[in-house]
Amino acid sequence: MPVGSTYPSESHTRRDPRTGVVVRQVTGFPAIHHHPFYYIPPYDDSGLRLFFVSHRTGEPQLFFEDGPGGALTQISNRPDLNEWSCHPSWNGRYAYYTAGNAAWRVDLEAMREEQVIRFGDAPIRQPGMVGASMGTTSLSCDSRWWCVHVKAENCFRMHMIDVQSGDDSVILESATIAHPQFHPDDPSLLRYAGPHDQRIWTIRRDGSQNRLVYRRDEAKKEWIVHESWLPGTREIISTNWPHGVMAIEIDSGAVRWIIRRNAWHPMVNRAGTELVADTTNPDVGLILCDPRRECNPIETLCDSRASNTGEHWKNDHCPYDDGPVEVYAPQHTHPHPNFSPDGGRVVFTSDQSGVAQVYEVALPTD
């Protein structure tokens, strides 16, 4: 279907049987659906458009829901879309993504796809469903700079694209680059993931000050994953699987604990006052806490009832230290919760019905 095609609302609500909160199912067509990766905004700043990927046309394409319970609009029509690369612009004018060997955006006013830059003749994403293979991208808080990492012959390259001028520069080459994210308050600073044993790095937009900001405990084979910035600070929160969530101050290296229990994909609201995370092994639902302090007990928001596929998550240390790991972990089976701009809602993905759909839950007002 062409860009701009609309579909009727598929929204309906129910109450979570455990906590009683209202859960709204956003999508219902019997095909895979998911929102963007957990630290990438699923909404524009207005909080009205909710962006997601749908496979309903036979291949993944980008869509948005036009207001809660509104019509669904298709905004991409690419046969080679990298479905985890989507990043809506903060002001809602564009949605950015990669496809094949190029970086693209769709003008949401004109409903027109535009090629931003072409990287070469080969696809820029290597096959795979985790880490560097997912092809996630990041847009700066001023909506000017777009970070895209590209698989080259023997390495990854981090491209910095000025979306106003179209200028592109390679600011880093490394054996592993994954999940870049601009600081939510500073468009000159990014974090990204390196290899499993040297995971958390920061870099300036011009490529300077590239440095490892956390040295893991090698004896314990710490599994450091699922990082994101804590807004209003210079801290990066990260899961230390399966022991909990910690915060790392990037200047001093100081580490503090936020949660001392299984918490999988932690994400913080824009105010920096509330954290949501999914859980697995065991799955105790989506949990909430205050990221500014160590929290105990932890509040359950609702059950996700997602299958959380990935046998390697049953390890109590980093399995990659034991040698190569065959990973089957389709990302649409993971909830990946994230907040609306005002912090009043949480979006998540679940395959509880047998196929992955997008859900939204309103946080209790108390």
User: What pLDDT score does 297 carry?
Assistant: 82
6-362 CATH choice from 3.40.309.10, 3.20.20.70, 3.30.43.10, 2.130.10.10: 2.130.10.10
pLDDT at 122 (0 to 100): 65
Report pLDDT digits (tens) over 284-308. 999 999 999 999 889 999 999 999 9
Task: Confirm if 363 and 344 have CB atoms less than 8 A apart.
Answer: yes
Average pLDDT value over all residues in the chain = 95
70-83 confidence digits (pLDDT tens): 999 999 999 999 99
In angstroms, rounded to a whole number, what is the distance separating the alpha carbons of residues 195 and 201?
Answer: 10
Q: Over the stretch 23-42, which tens digit does the pLDDT of each residue have?
A: 999 999 999 999 999 999 99
Distances (CA, A) of 283 to 156, 222, 277, 306, 356: 34, 21, 11, 9, 17
Band of residue 239 on the pLDDT scale cut at 50, 70, 90: very high
For the chain, domain boundaries:
6-362
Share of the chain above pLDDT 70, in %: 98
Give ∠ CA 131-82-361 in degrees, rounded to 5.
75
End-to-end alpha carbon distance in the chain: 43
Beta-bridged to residue 103, according to DSSP, are 98, 117
Model confidence at 185: pLDDT above 60: yes
Q: Do the bridges between strand 22-25 and strand 357-362 make them parallel or antiparallel, or are there none, so unpaired? A: antiparallel
Rounded alpha-carbon distances, angstroms, from residue 324 to 58, 196, 312, 319 = 33, 12, 11, 8
345 has a pLDDT exceeding 80: yes
- Stretch 94-122: mean pLDDT, rounded? 93
Give the residue with greater pLDDT, 251 vs 134: 251
The one-letter code for the residue type at 317 is: H
pLDDT at 128: 67
What's the pLDDT band for 105 if we cut at 50, 70, 90? very high
Contact by Cβ (8 Å): 159, 151: no
pLDDT at 325 over 60: yes
pLDDT tens for 110-169 read: 999 999 999 987 677 767 657 667 899 999 999 999 999 998 888 999 999 999 999 999
114 C-beta neighbours (distance < 10 Å), count: 10
Q: What is the pLDDT of residue 120?
A: 81
Asked if pLDDT for residue 353 goes beyond 90, the answer is yes
pLDDT on residue 153: 82
pLDDT digits (tens, 9 = 90+) for 303-312: 999 999 999 9
Name residue 191's amino acid: R
What's the CA gap between 175 and 154, in Å, rounded?
7
Select the more confidently predicted residue: 153 or 85: 85
